Amino acid sequence: MVKIQSEKTNWIPEAFQRSAQTIAKDAVKRFVKNNQVIGLGSGPMAAAIVKEIGKISSDMKKTLQCIASSTQIKQEALSGNLTIVDENLIPEIDIVFDGADQVDSKFNMIKGGGGALLKEKVLHSAAKTIVITAESFKFVKSFNRSVPIEVHPFALYTLQNKLESEQVAAKPELRTLNEGYPYITENGNFVLDTVFQSIPDVRNKEIELKNMPGVIEVGLFTKLANVYYKAKDDNSFDAIKL
Protein backbone atom coordinates (compact mmCIF):
# COMPACT_ATOMS: atom_id res chain seq x y z
CA MET A 1 0.00 0.00 0.00
CA VAL A 2 1.33 3.41 -0.94
CA LYS A 3 1.80 5.75 1.99
CA ILE A 4 1.90 9.52 1.82
CA GLN A 5 5.25 10.71 3.11
CA SER A 6 4.45 13.05 5.98
CA GLU A 7 7.66 13.04 8.01
CA LYS A 8 8.97 16.56 8.62
CA THR A 9 12.66 16.57 7.81
CA ASN A 10 13.26 20.28 7.33
CA TRP A 11 12.80 21.60 10.84
CA ILE A 12 14.12 21.27 14.39
CA PRO A 13 11.51 20.98 17.17
CA GLU A 14 11.25 24.31 18.98
CA ALA A 15 12.44 22.87 22.30
CA PHE A 16 15.74 21.85 20.69
CA GLN A 17 16.47 24.88 18.52
CA ARG A 18 18.65 26.72 21.02
CA SER A 19 20.69 23.64 21.89
CA ALA A 20 21.15 22.95 18.17
CA GLN A 21 22.59 26.44 17.74
CA THR A 22 24.88 25.94 20.73
CA ILE A 23 26.08 22.64 19.32
CA ALA A 24 26.75 24.26 15.96
CA LYS A 25 28.95 26.90 17.59
CA ASP A 26 30.83 24.27 19.61
CA ALA A 27 31.32 21.95 16.63
CA VAL A 28 32.63 24.69 14.35
CA LYS A 29 34.98 26.01 17.03
CA ARG A 30 36.36 22.55 17.83
CA PHE A 31 36.52 20.91 14.44
CA VAL A 32 36.72 23.43 11.59
CA LYS A 33 40.32 24.26 10.68
CA ASN A 34 42.06 25.96 7.80
CA ASN A 35 42.55 24.08 4.52
CA GLN A 36 39.92 21.41 5.14
CA VAL A 37 37.71 19.48 2.75
CA ILE A 38 34.35 19.32 4.54
CA GLY A 39 31.46 16.97 3.80
CA LEU A 40 28.03 18.46 4.45
CA GLY A 41 25.26 16.08 5.42
CA SER A 42 21.62 17.01 4.94
CA GLY A 43 18.77 17.92 7.23
CA PRO A 44 18.11 20.62 9.83
CA MET A 45 20.91 19.71 12.25
CA ALA A 46 23.50 19.74 9.48
CA ALA A 47 22.06 23.01 8.19
CA ALA A 48 22.55 24.62 11.61
CA ILE A 49 26.26 23.76 11.47
CA VAL A 50 26.57 24.98 7.88
CA LYS A 51 25.04 28.31 8.91
CA GLU A 52 27.61 28.58 11.68
CA ILE A 53 30.49 27.79 9.30
CA GLY A 54 29.19 30.62 7.16
CA LYS A 55 29.87 33.04 10.04
CA ILE A 56 33.62 32.40 10.25
CA SER A 57 36.10 34.89 8.84
CA SER A 58 36.31 35.36 5.08
CA ASP A 59 40.02 34.54 5.12
CA MET A 60 39.37 31.16 6.75
CA LYS A 61 36.40 30.40 4.51
CA LYS A 62 38.60 30.87 1.46
CA THR A 63 40.71 27.89 2.60
CA LEU A 64 37.72 25.54 2.93
CA GLN A 65 36.23 23.31 0.24
CA CYS A 66 32.81 21.79 0.83
CA ILE A 67 31.05 18.80 -0.72
CA ALA A 68 27.26 18.86 -0.36
CA SER A 69 25.07 15.78 -0.05
CA SER A 70 21.92 17.47 -1.37
CA THR A 71 20.66 20.53 -3.20
CA GLN A 72 19.12 21.80 0.05
CA ILE A 73 22.41 21.81 1.92
CA LYS A 74 24.27 23.15 -1.12
CA GLN A 75 22.02 26.21 -1.18
CA GLU A 76 22.55 26.69 2.55
CA ALA A 77 26.32 26.58 2.03
CA LEU A 78 26.25 28.99 -0.91
CA SER A 79 24.19 31.47 1.10
CA GLY A 80 27.06 31.50 3.60
CA ASN A 81 29.60 32.10 0.82
CA LEU A 82 31.17 28.67 1.25
CA THR A 83 33.01 27.13 -1.69
CA ILE A 84 31.29 24.04 -3.12
CA VAL A 85 33.48 21.56 -4.97
CA ASP A 86 32.62 18.39 -6.85
CA GLU A 87 33.02 14.74 -5.93
CA ASN A 88 36.59 14.55 -7.21
CA LEU A 89 37.74 15.59 -3.73
CA ILE A 90 35.71 12.95 -1.84
CA PRO A 91 38.81 10.82 -1.11
CA GLU A 92 40.31 13.82 0.69
CA ILE A 93 37.42 14.61 3.06
CA ASP A 94 38.73 15.72 6.45
CA ILE A 95 35.43 15.90 8.29
CA VAL A 96 31.70 15.34 7.76
CA PHE A 97 28.98 17.12 9.72
CA ASP A 98 25.66 15.30 9.62
CA GLY A 99 22.45 14.46 11.47
CA ALA A 100 20.64 11.19 12.17
CA ASP A 101 17.07 9.95 12.28
CA GLN A 102 17.89 7.49 15.07
CA VAL A 103 21.00 6.34 16.94
CA ASP A 104 20.90 2.99 18.75
CA SER A 105 22.75 1.88 21.89
CA LYS A 106 25.72 0.69 19.80
CA PHE A 107 25.79 4.02 17.89
CA ASN A 108 24.58 2.57 14.63
CA MET A 109 22.31 5.02 12.83
CA ILE A 110 19.24 5.18 10.64
CA LYS A 111 19.50 7.96 8.09
CA GLY A 112 17.67 8.90 4.92
CA GLY A 113 14.53 10.58 6.21
CA GLY A 114 15.38 13.47 3.91
CA GLY A 115 16.28 11.20 1.00
CA ALA A 116 20.03 11.91 0.76
CA LEU A 117 21.23 8.57 2.16
CA LEU A 118 23.32 7.56 -0.86
CA LYS A 119 25.50 10.67 -0.96
CA GLU A 120 25.65 10.84 2.82
CA LYS A 121 26.96 7.29 3.06
CA VAL A 122 29.58 7.97 0.39
CA LEU A 123 30.77 11.01 2.35
CA HIS A 124 30.87 9.02 5.59
CA SER A 125 32.84 6.21 3.98
CA ALA A 126 35.62 8.59 2.92
CA ALA A 127 35.77 10.93 5.91
CA LYS A 128 38.60 10.95 8.43
CA THR A 129 36.27 12.38 11.09
CA ILE A 130 32.47 12.15 11.40
CA VAL A 131 30.45 14.46 13.66
CA ILE A 132 26.77 13.63 14.23
CA THR A 133 24.11 15.84 15.82
CA ALA A 134 20.63 14.64 16.82
CA GLU A 135 17.90 15.49 19.30
CA SER A 136 17.93 13.44 22.51
CA PHE A 137 14.73 11.54 21.65
CA LYS A 138 16.44 10.11 18.57
CA PHE A 139 18.90 8.21 20.77
CA VAL A 140 17.20 4.86 21.43
CA LYS A 141 18.10 1.44 22.83
CA SER A 142 17.13 -0.26 19.57
CA PHE A 143 15.65 1.04 16.33
CA ASN A 144 11.88 1.49 16.30
CA ARG A 145 11.29 3.35 13.06
CA SER A 146 11.32 2.51 9.36
CA VAL A 147 14.56 2.09 7.45
CA PRO A 148 14.80 4.06 4.18
CA ILE A 149 15.97 1.91 1.27
CA GLU A 150 16.83 3.66 -2.00
CA VAL A 151 15.89 1.42 -4.93
CA HIS A 152 16.16 1.58 -8.70
CA PRO A 153 12.70 2.08 -10.27
CA PHE A 154 13.19 -1.00 -12.49
CA ALA A 155 13.46 -3.20 -9.38
CA LEU A 156 10.70 -1.59 -7.29
CA TYR A 157 8.07 -4.34 -7.45
CA THR A 158 10.57 -7.16 -7.25
CA LEU A 159 12.10 -5.65 -4.12
CA GLN A 160 8.72 -4.98 -2.53
CA ASN A 161 7.85 -8.67 -2.95
CA LYS A 162 11.23 -9.81 -1.66
CA LEU A 163 11.04 -7.60 1.42
CA GLU A 164 7.52 -8.84 2.16
CA SER A 165 8.53 -12.51 1.77
CA GLU A 166 8.52 -14.89 4.76
CA GLN A 167 12.31 -14.91 4.73
CA VAL A 168 12.65 -11.15 5.27
CA ALA A 169 9.24 -10.44 6.85
CA ALA A 170 9.44 -6.67 6.41
CA LYS A 171 6.80 -4.07 5.56
CA PRO A 172 8.00 -1.73 2.79
CA GLU A 173 6.00 1.34 1.82
CA LEU A 174 6.77 3.53 -1.16
CA ARG A 175 7.59 7.06 -0.09
CA THR A 176 5.34 9.55 -1.84
CA LEU A 177 4.80 13.29 -2.01
CA ASN A 178 1.72 14.89 -0.48
CA GLU A 179 0.08 14.82 -3.91
CA GLY A 180 0.45 11.04 -4.02
CA TYR A 181 3.23 10.92 -6.61
CA PRO A 182 6.31 8.81 -5.79
CA TYR A 183 9.11 10.67 -4.06
CA ILE A 184 12.17 10.63 -6.33
CA THR A 185 15.66 11.09 -4.91
CA GLU A 186 18.17 13.45 -6.49
CA ASN A 187 19.70 10.31 -8.00
CA GLY A 188 16.46 9.43 -9.81
CA ASN A 189 15.48 6.54 -7.56
CA PHE A 190 12.55 5.59 -5.31
CA VAL A 191 12.62 5.11 -1.52
CA LEU A 192 10.98 2.22 0.32
CA ASP A 193 10.46 3.12 3.98
CA THR A 194 10.69 -0.35 5.45
CA VAL A 195 9.64 -1.59 8.88
CA PHE A 196 11.39 -4.65 10.33
CA GLN A 197 10.09 -6.59 13.33
CA SER A 198 13.57 -6.32 14.82
CA ILE A 199 17.16 -5.85 13.66
CA PRO A 200 19.35 -7.86 16.06
CA ASP A 201 22.47 -7.46 13.91
CA VAL A 202 22.47 -4.10 12.14
CA ARG A 203 25.66 -4.73 10.17
CA ASN A 204 24.42 -8.06 8.81
CA LYS A 205 21.06 -6.53 7.90
CA GLU A 206 22.82 -3.73 6.03
CA ILE A 207 24.85 -6.27 4.04
CA GLU A 208 21.79 -8.46 3.41
CA LEU A 209 19.79 -5.58 1.99
CA LYS A 210 22.67 -4.20 -0.07
CA ASN A 211 23.04 -7.63 -1.72
CA MET A 212 19.50 -7.50 -3.13
CA PRO A 213 19.66 -6.60 -6.85
CA GLY A 214 18.14 -3.17 -7.40
CA VAL A 215 18.96 -1.79 -3.95
CA ILE A 216 21.04 1.36 -4.43
CA GLU A 217 21.67 2.17 -0.77
CA VAL A 218 20.35 1.36 2.69
CA GLY A 219 19.67 3.84 5.48
CA LEU A 220 21.50 1.72 8.05
CA PHE A 221 24.80 3.43 8.85
CA THR A 222 27.20 1.16 10.73
CA LYS A 223 30.41 3.17 10.38
CA LEU A 224 30.71 4.79 13.79
CA ALA A 225 31.12 8.53 14.14
CA ASN A 226 33.88 10.11 16.19
CA VAL A 227 31.54 12.41 18.10
CA TYR A 228 27.79 12.32 18.69
CA TYR A 229 26.18 15.53 19.89
CA LYS A 230 22.95 14.87 21.81
CA ALA A 231 20.78 17.99 21.82
CA LYS A 232 18.58 18.36 24.91
CA ASP A 233 15.33 20.28 25.37
CA ASP A 234 16.81 22.41 28.19
CA ASN A 235 19.18 24.24 25.79
CA SER A 236 22.14 22.02 26.75
CA PHE A 237 23.84 19.10 25.04
CA ASP A 238 26.05 16.08 25.63
CA ALA A 239 29.07 15.34 23.44
CA ILE A 240 29.74 11.60 23.24
CA LYS A 241 33.21 10.70 21.97
CA LEU A 242 34.03 7.18 20.77
DSSP string for 157-210: HHHHHHHHSTTT-EEEEEEE-TTSPBP--TTS-EEEEEEES--S-HHHHHHHHH
Task: Please check whether residue 54 is in contact with residue 82, taking contact to mean a CB–CB distance below 8 angstroms.
Answer: yes
Environment class of 197 (CB within 10 Å of its CB; exposed 0-12, middle 13-18, buried 19+): exposed
Active site residue 164: no
Query: Distance between CA atoms of 102 and 1, rounded to whole angstroms?
Result: 25
Cβ distance 241 to 227 under 8 Å?
yes
**Which residue out of 52, 76, 120, 150 is catalytically annotated?**
120
Catalytic residues: 120
